[in-house]
Amino acid sequence: MFQNALDSLSLASSLSEQKKHVLEKELNIMITQSEKTLTEKPPKKMPELQNKAFFLPRISYGQNEKIPCASDCITIKNSKKMGRCLVATRDITIGDVLAVEEPFVSFLMPEFRHTHCYNCYLKCHTLLPCHYCSMAMFCSESCRKASWEKNHSIICSVSPYLDELGRAVNLSLLIIIKASRNYKSITELYQQVKSWEGKDFPKNYFDENGQYGSQDYKNIYNLVTNSEKRPLEHSFRSAALAFYVLKCLEDESKFFTSFIPSQSRPFDVKLFIGGVLLRHLQNTTYNAYTVFESYRFGNTDKSMDYREIGAAVYATMSLMNHSCDPNVNRFNCNDTLILRVIQPIKKGEQVLASYGPHFYIQERDERILELKNNYCFTCKCEACRNNWPKEPSMSLDKLKYKCQTCGFGLPAAQTREHVICSNCKFLNNVEEISTLVKKSFVFLSIRLMPLFRSCSIGSVSSCQKTKDRGCHPLKRSLGIVTPRKSPPYAVGLLYYCVSLRDGRNALDCLALASSLPDHKKQQLEEELTILMGQSLEAVPEKNTEHLVESQNDTSILPKISFGPNEKIPCASDCIDIHSSKDMGRCVVATRDINIGDVLGVEEPFASVLLPQFYYTHCYNCYLRCCTLLPCHYCSMCPRLTLSFQTRSKTDDKPKALIGQESVPKPPPPLKDCTCKKQVMYCSESCRKASWEKNHCVDCTLLPYLHKQDSNTIEMLAVRIIITASRDYESPAEFYRQVKSWKAGDSTTESTFDGNGQYVSQDYKNIYNIVTNTEKRSVADLFKRAVTAARILQCFENKSNFFTSFSSNELLPSDFKLFIGGLLLRHLQNLPCNAHEVSESLRCENDGDVLKCVEIGAAAYATMSLVNHSCDPNVVRHSYRDTVVLRAIRLIKKDEQVLDNYGYHYALHEKEERQSHLKDQYYFTCDCEACHDDWPTYFNLNSDKPTYKCQTCDFSLPALLVGEDVICEHCKCSNNIKEILTLLNESSKDYDRHLISVLSGSHDNAVVQQMIEHLEKLDQYIKRPWQEYNNCQEAIKQCYMKLGNYYESDLQKLIKEVLDQTKEDKVLEKGINWTLHG
């Protein structure tokens, strides 16, 4: 055995000198203990070792009925500022034991697994190894069996892949395993977690028996995550780690095959487990505690120190808040935690522990910064408020340190971080040594032992040393793209040739597109038929020799009513931004607003065109056009694209940015081209502008995003990141600016910039749109995090995003992780705040009603502040991608401007509206239509209206007798005969005008008369009233035609194309089927 020990010692030769020195000391102690044991009478057989080395003290004042692990002298209370906390119910003296708590889960550090029992943490020199791995050893057969049944049957095969990823990762996995075993089935666990989401647990933290149990998974699940306060890169890194752990569970263990039986389930198990993993990676970072062990490193009783051997999660201890002058201290007995009082605590005072920073050893600014960075709060304890000084006798700054290799004294370090030993020339990290000495001084001199809460990875120095290894699992977790086939380049070229009336080349392109599926061919033929019909109708007066710059005749934007707003440049002076506790930031009227008034004309911060409209609309300005120009690059196979983005010797930008003359001619597409869509433009200026703005990055990105079936929200998030990064001179400035913002700050003061304005093109206003992170399910968060990781991989591998910045300044070290965090943030705030870009279509075969079609999506900073109502008072219309906001009801001063999020009382029942709004937007609507449960359109009253009092707006009696009717509320007289005459005349005019509106032959005078009729209905009749809805919708239709509007008769166009079969008829039309240069 000694020979084997020597062999093992030689294998450890690769350790650092400091590690070797520590190892030799421990070996000497072990040899001494072994020799002493051998001189005694040996036992006949090795007994089962029992954990008798530790003595668990009794809890003072008896056991608490509500908190079984705690004393009866404390209770759990909820504070608005401090959250849940432990409070004394009586005066408590020094030395009292307040709690003895076993962890929900605990994790033994890898370096102690050959000296301590993996199950009970007992230090033992006769350990039994696991039957299947070399990563875990046990003090007895009972511990080995208990560990296998508890979690090691899963951990055994996964542990080698996770040990280097830190404590939070391993603790999160252990929590998942234990939680799964606590329920009869994974379905029951899923149902339990779903029932907890969105509930106010600060008021519901006790179970059905009125207890707060340490082994109740609900108490672990609902520990604070600080999702809204954590840095973006931290959230994204947690998501990537969750995905990596999920893949390890799936590929390297039997978790999903043996533990979770394969049976039909109404939910995605892997997505659910991934979401729960993500949640625990967040809350264990702030709530896990270090498991310490005291040990003797010399021959005297005073030579004691403490070292970290593991980490654990405790349901009750996690509720204690921090103080830099704590009144309790924590001690470990194995992985069980004992809480003792070290300062007198009066009745009603909080039980306060230290999270690491202590006024005795750290200055106030240092403590506050550390707590802010690690725990997302600013400490306001007495020591911080009064700025207590450090212990004056601790002159640690004047200590002379020893070289960690040879033991010689080092020169005075002063302010240097590293010092070279004059004897052996070894480079010593004096800053790290100083920090260790300070902590050791506290442990040895005042026995403080604060039991630092565990971070997600470890110390800063260990993170730096294992940076490359830590990044490897992250990179591996991002590789999730699976290639799929997509339509070829010939489709885009086909549209282009037909729009230019080049029939011969169009037929050739149609032959090239023969590999398309049948349903795609049919759709293509229908669209081409329409396109050819439009070309036959569009007879030019003379042939042109070149394509002209397209003009958008429908883009005449209306003027803002009441003049522009000084604070909100895109809005009218009749509105302002207010902040409400219940509604958050909102838009409020500052004066009475009439129907038809234009309240805002806002350009988007970023917008995207839907792929199905790439061949009919300009990718840059959204103009519908039949003579579109393709991009110089993305109409090719994406594998060739990067090779054509040649770079100038004097400029780091692609040559396409320098001048279009330098753009090479695209080669023919490859046979196995995987490009699905290409972008096209209405003019050369749009093509150039789009390239300079964003397409120089997403040109190579789009094919891969389409291959992965990226939805509109994902595409818009990509566009926002590209647009935002282009607003700054360098990536470092972009990084610093975003880091300086307080995420989720929606106060009125933070809304406006330094000039007192809320600007639509300021990225800060898009960044601070609400994300609803705390209200989302764990599965939803995990899915969005994986999506962000997938998109980030495309950014890195399929685009020049990280190399396209004009500045030569180096990227910040975590810049890619930072971009991933931004993607994750926008994947959360866009579903609740993005708006559609719409186009109105009129088809005679479908009746006279305009159809609104979504052609794109956009992010508007100001429009996102408008709250919802099922009976809105404004309506939005798109002018290309610019949105115009008009009033469609009278809005009184101080009333909110209210839009509709897609669920209108006239179209959806109350239960349906409430359900959809709760699921997608995370709020319960309490508008008038919901409060009074207004009926849907076909059930609206259309025979007997309820009239309003002209003084107080209350309803008049249903039975109208005589000319004058007395209001029962204000006792005022109303001339009902005059009102009826006025409304009847106005209704007759309305019926006549409605015909012209539906046929599309109305003018501005008709629109104004329709508005006047609606104002009269609003003044005299109580809603809901069917004629009011009809008039309101007719006015909307009038405004729809002023924006993005397209009129086509599909049947008529197809018939005309079929009739034009003879060449002489084509010539009669004057069409020259040649490609004009």
* 116 and 168 part of one domain: yes
Predicted pLDDT at 448: 35
Whether residue 828 is predicted with pLDDT greater than 80 in this model: the reply is yes
Which stretch, 117-121, 235-239, 670-674, has highest mean pLDDT? 117-121
In DSSP notation, 693-735 reads IIIHHHTTTHHHHHHTT--HHHHHHHHHHHHHHHTSSSHHHHH
Cα torsion 910, 914, 917, 920: sign: negative
> Is residue 47 in some structural domain?
no
In degrees, rounded to 5, the angle at the alpha carbon of residue 767 between the alpha carbons of residues 761 and 770 is 120
pLDDT tens-digit map of 728-750: 888 888 888 888 887 656 665 66
Q: What's the rounded mean pLDDT across residues 26-42?
A: 64
- For residue 42, give every residue at least 6 positions away whose Cβ sits within 8 Å of its Cβ, in sequence order, or none: none
Q: What's the rounded mean pLDDT across residues 443-460?
A: 37
Mode of pairing for the β-strands spanning 336-341 and 97-101 = antiparallel
pLDDT tens-digit map of 498-531: 444 444 445 445 554 555 566 666 666 666 666 5
> Is residue 846 in some structural domain?
no
Q: Torsion over CA of 1011, 1014, 1019 and 1022, rounded to 10 degrees?
A: -160
> Is residue 984 in some structural domain?
no
Half-sphere exposure of 773 (CA within 13 A, CB side): 25
pLDDT category of residue 645 using cuts at 50, 70 and 90:
very low
* 657 and 770 part of one domain: yes
Compute the residue count for the chain: 1077
* 128 and 219 part of one domain: yes
Whether residue 577 is predicted with pLDDT greater than 90 in this model: the reply is yes
Token digits for 394?
């601790």
Q: What's the rounded mean pLDDT across residues 467-475?
A: 32
Strand partners, 453: 289
* 521 and 648 part of one domain: yes
Predicted pLDDT at 494: 47
CA of 427: how far to CAs of 12, 13, 387, 435, 459, in Å?
22, 20, 36, 17, 20
Cα distance between residue 783 and residue 274, in whole Å:
8
Residue 643: exposure state from Cβ atoms within 10 A (0-12, 13-18, ≥19)? exposed
Q: Which amino acid is at 164?
A: E
Whether residue 133 is predicted with pLDDT greater than 50 in this model: the reply is yes
* 433 and 300 part of one domain: no
In degrees, rounded to 5, the angle at the alpha carbon of residue 378 between the alpha carbons of residues 371 and 771 is 95
Q: What's the rounded mean pLDDT across residues 408-432?
A: 69
* 413 and 468 part of one domain: no
Predicted pLDDT at 727: 85
pLDDT category of residue 196 using cuts at 50, 70 and 90:
confident
Predicted pLDDT at 443: 40
* 648 and 503 part of one domain: yes
Bond into 487 cis (ω within 30): no
Phi, psi of 424 (to 5 degrees): -110, 0
pLDDT category of residue 456 using cuts at 50, 70 and 90:
very low
> Is residue 990 in some structural domain?
no
pLDDT category of residue 691 using cuts at 50, 70 and 90:
very high
- For residue 404, give every residue at least 6 positions away whose Cβ sits within 8 Å of its Cβ, in sequence order, or none: 17, 18, 426, 428, 433
Cα distance between residue 1040 and residue 665, in whole Å:
41
The residue ranking higher by pLDDT, 345 or 198, is 345
Among the residue ranges 624-633, 673-682, 1053-1062, the one predicted with the least confidence is: 1053-1062
Cα distance between residue 195 and residue 51, in whole Å:
40
Average pLDDT, the chain: 77
Find out whether 500 and 1073 touch, Cβ atoms under 8 Å. Answer: no
* 658 and 773 part of one domain: yes
Cα distance between residue 773 and residue 828, in whole Å:
7
Predicted pLDDT at 558: 93
Which stretch, 273-282, 582-591, 862-871, 966-975, has highest mean pLDDT? 862-871
* 515 and 431 part of one domain: no
Predicted pLDDT at 257: 76
* 433 and 504 part of one domain: no
Mode of pairing for the β-strands spanning 629-630 and 680-681 = antiparallel
* 231 and 148 part of one domain: yes
**Residue 784: which of 844, 711, 721 has the closest Cα?**
711
Predicted pLDDT at 286: 87
Predicted pLDDT at 379: 93
Phi, psi of 993 (to 5 degrees): -70, -30
> Is residue 737 in some structural domain?
yes
Cα distance between residue 316 and residue 640, in whole Å:
59
Q: At what angle do helices 731-740 and 712-726 cross, to 10 degrees?
A: 110
Q: What's the structural domain count of the chain?
A: 3
**Residue 877: which of 889, 867, 866, 886 has the closest Cα?**
886
pLDDT tens-digit map of 73-97: 999 998 878 889 999 999 999 999 9
In percent, the amount of the chain with pLDDT more than 90 equals 37
> Is residue 360 in some structural domain?
no
CA of 1064: how far to CAs of 462, 1059, 1061, 1077, in Å?
83, 12, 9, 25
Token digits for 784?
């969005």
CA 626 to chain centre: 39
CA of 484: how far to CAs of 487, 670, 713, 773, 854, in Å?
10, 16, 21, 32, 26
> Is residue 873 in some structural domain?
no
Domain housing 418: 393-442
In degrees, rounded to 5, the angle at the alpha carbon of residue 449 between the alpha carbons of residues 443 and 450 is 140
Among the residue ranges 144-158, 640-654, 691-705, 1004-1018, the one predicted with the least confidence is: 640-654
CA of 315: how far to CAs of 67, 118, 202, 205, 578, in Å?
10, 21, 14, 11, 40
Is the pTM here over 0.85, yes or no?
no
Cα distance between residue 328 and residue 448, in whole Å:
10
188-224: burial string, b at 16+ Cβ within 10 Å, e else: ebbeebeeeeeeeeeeebbeeeeebbbebbbbbbbbb
Q: Which amino acid is at 380?
A: K
Cα distance between residue 13 and residue 23, in whole Å:
11
Where among 797, 816, 833 does a domain terminate? 833
Predicted pLDDT at 530: 61
Cα distance between residue 588 and residue 577, in whole Å:
6
Cα distance between residue 285 and residue 277, in whole Å:
12
* 275 and 397 part of one domain: no
Q: Which amino acid is at 894?
A: D
pLDDT tens-digit map of 983-1001: 989 998 888 888 888 877 7
Find out whether 800 and 806 touch, Cβ atoms under 8 Å. Answer: no
> Is residue 232 in some structural domain?
yes
Find out whether 806 and 653 touch, Cβ atoms under 8 Å. Answer: yes
Q: What's the rounded mean pLDDT across residues 224-237?
A: 81
Predicted pLDDT at 463: 37
In percent, the amount of the chain with pLDDT more than 70 equals 71
Predicted pLDDT at 812: 74
Among the residue ranges 69-73, 419-423, 568-572, 995-999, the one predicted with the least confidence is: 419-423
